[in-house]
Amino acid sequence: VNISPESFSPPFHFKGVRFFPAADLRAVELAESFEVRDDDVFVSAYAKSGTTWVQQIVSLLSTEGDLSEVNKVPIFVRVPWFETMDMSGTGEPLPKILKDAPSPRLMKTHLPYRLLPKDAREGKGKIIYCARNVKDVVVSWHKMREGFKFIPSGTFDENFEEFINPEQAAFGFWWDVVPEYWRHKDDNNVLFLKFEDLKREDLRGNVVKIADFLGRTLSDQRIDEVVANCTFSAMKDNDATNFSRDEAFKDQRKDGFEFMRKGKVGDWKNSLSPEQSKILDDINREKMAGVDLSFEFE
Ligand code: A3P
């Protein structure tokens, strides 16, 4: 793994979407024609919505809950971020490297649905999408921008303004991206999950749902192991999932930054002003009218 500030390109726009590090323009361009295999899995989410959580569940399912196997490789290599540059130092965009990677390929993406590989949009491979209430997303994204040196950041208020600006928002405007995935929730190759359900409702039930979707049959005991190893505290204590602790990121994080920060529903209350909360309520009311998708905010 070779992570240096020069590895990452600054934010750029592609087809109206603003991408942030570590996304790479060449990788984003290669996405459309990427040849998807039937057993490919894309873990997709708007940034800060539970991507890493689902990455860990999916990789644990692939080893039937065997954590020692999973821990041999850090999560950002095990389930690599599709639209980035290869972090092993080849300098190549990752889709080019993945072309020759053995199956099954587990990949993470923040691409809006319309920028996914054409094959995936036509039903090939599997897409697991995880959505989270927008208020917690805004806050978590700010904390990450503050925490990693390679991600440009402003003040909380500046980052908030960017978030609600369709041209400036990272990885697309939340109110475009999430409803677009939601429209595909009943596609055969899409599973749509919510962070709040995993957190509050029933983690085990959601793990079983993911296993079923991937066509994996695990014993109850194996499922218990997957669940035990993907709770917030287990992932926080695990250097292979709490990748902000990984040595490779040593020079990239500011003091005290923890990727596994709080993992809660409703932490936005500690950061958003009442005015900012109302702005988000108003945008929600306008943009989500007619979209049969709602979130728990606390
Ligand atoms: P917070 O910053 O609110 O704590 P992503 O992986 O998409 O970047 O999302 C990161 C967010 O998911 C962080 O939110 C992180 O703490 C939370 N998270 C990661 N793993 C989790 C888990 N097992 N349980 C609950 N939250 C988790």
Q: Confidence class of residue 5 from pLDDT cuts 50, 70 and 90?
A: low
Q: Pick the catalytic residue from 13, 110, 142, 184.
A: 110
How much is the pTM?
0.97
By most ligand atoms within 8 Å of CB, the mutation choice from 260, 268, 295, 296 for ligand 1 is: 260
Query: 277: Cβ below 6 Å to ligand 1?
Result: no
Q: What is the DSSP letter of 298?
A: -
Structure tokens of 138? 């805004």
pLDDT computed for residue 117 by the predictor? 98
pLDDT-above-90 percentage for the chain:
85
Q: How far apart are CA 67 and CA 225, in angstroms?
A: 8
Phi first, then psi, for residue 54 (nearest 5°) are: -70, -35
Instruction: Judge whether 52 and 259 are in contact, CB under 8 Å.
Output: yes
Structure tokens of 180? 């677009």
Q: What is the bridge-based pairing of β-strands 106-109 and 17-19?
A: unpaired
pLDDT computed for residue 255 by the predictor? 85
Q: Confidence class of residue 2 from pLDDT cuts 50, 70 and 90?
A: low
Top-tier CATH class for 5-287: alpha beta
Over residues 126-150, mean pLDDT: 96
Residue linked to tokens 């130092």: 89
Phi first, then psi, for residue 49 (nearest 5°) are: -120, 15
Phi first, then psi, for residue 192 (nearest 5°) are: -105, 120
pLDDT computed for residue 15 by the predictor? 98
Give the closest residue (by CA) to ligand 1 atom 18.
263
Answer with the residue of higher pLDDT: 178 or 258: 178
Q: How far apart are CA 39 and CA 228, in angstroms?
A: 26
Q: Confidence class of residue 113 from pLDDT cuts 50, 70 and 90?
A: very high
pLDDT computed for residue 147 by the predictor? 93
Phi first, then psi, for residue 210 (nearest 5°) are: -65, -45
Distance, CA of 29 to chain centre: 19
- Find residue 193's DSSP bridge partners: 130
Radius of gyration for the chain, computed over Cα atoms and rounded to the nearest angstrom: 18
Instruction: Judge whether 88 and 62 are in contact, CB under 8 Å.
Output: no
Q: What is the DSSP letter of 93?
A: B
What pLDDT, in 10s, does the model give residues 58-69?
A: 999 999 999 999
Q: Which atom of ligand 1 sits closest to the CA of residue 49? A: 7
Amino acid at 278: K
What pLDDT, in 10s, does the model give residues 29-48?
A: 999 999 999 999 999 999 99
What pLDDT, in 10s, does the model give residues 226-274?
A: 999 999 999 999 989 997 788 888 888 888 888 999 999 999 999 999 9
Give the closest residue (by CA) to ligand 1 atom 22.
232
